[in-house]
Amino acid sequence: MSVKHTLVSILAFSSLLVACNSSVKESENQQVDQAPPVETVEVRIVDWSTESGVNEEAPFHHDLTITDPHSTIERIFSSYISFQESTDSNENKDSLKYAIQQIGDGPKWIDSTSLQLLLDIWMYYDPTDFPTRNYVEARLKEDVIASTAAVDKRIQQKKDWENPEYAPFAELPYLKRLLINSRKD
């Protein structure tokens, strides 16, 4: 079922619930009051992704100023995992996207600490409708040797609560193969 159909189904079901819940039965012998008219809700489906998962024309606040991309990523990631939600604000998504693009700009590419943070983002930052992995993978492909070394280091430094048989930790070898194969393109 597509996202559009799912949203429409959810809205229709929600409207039905509102209509049913607002009916009041004063006694068993009386008829149910008429439900109030249901408001019409406009559903706008926005597809920000492209085949590659990144659409540069997607709404984005280009006036964002990020002076420390590593700290910005760390702050957003810490906040996201502390609430254990599958959503995040559009402002955080925009800031994260921009920080991922900015981190390591300049003469020195991404340092090892920031690479480890990007891998954690790749593994655990998964809000709805945000192609985190595509943004991180694009940056990691810029320096395949350093990135694959960082993936190896992350695999070796498995946290106690991570299970090597289950995602997302089990997907790290896939990421390494993806990076190595990107060199052949």
Return d(Cα 19, Cα 135) in angstroms, integer.
43
Return d(Cα 138, Cα 111) in angstroms, integer.
16
Domain positions in the chain: 1-45, 69-182
- Residue 157: both structure tokens together: 């430094």
Give the C-alpha distances (Å, rounded to integers) separating 120 from 42, 165, 172, 182: 37, 17, 10, 21
> pLDDT tens track of the chain, all 185 residues?
444 444 334 434 444 333 434 333 334 444 444 544 444 333 333 344 444 444 444 444 455 677 889 999 999 999 998 887 778 889 999 999 999 998 887 666 788 889 999 999 999 999 988 999 999 999 999 999 999 999 999 999 999 999 999 999 999 999 999 999 998 75
Q: Residue 118 corresponds to which amino acid?
A: L
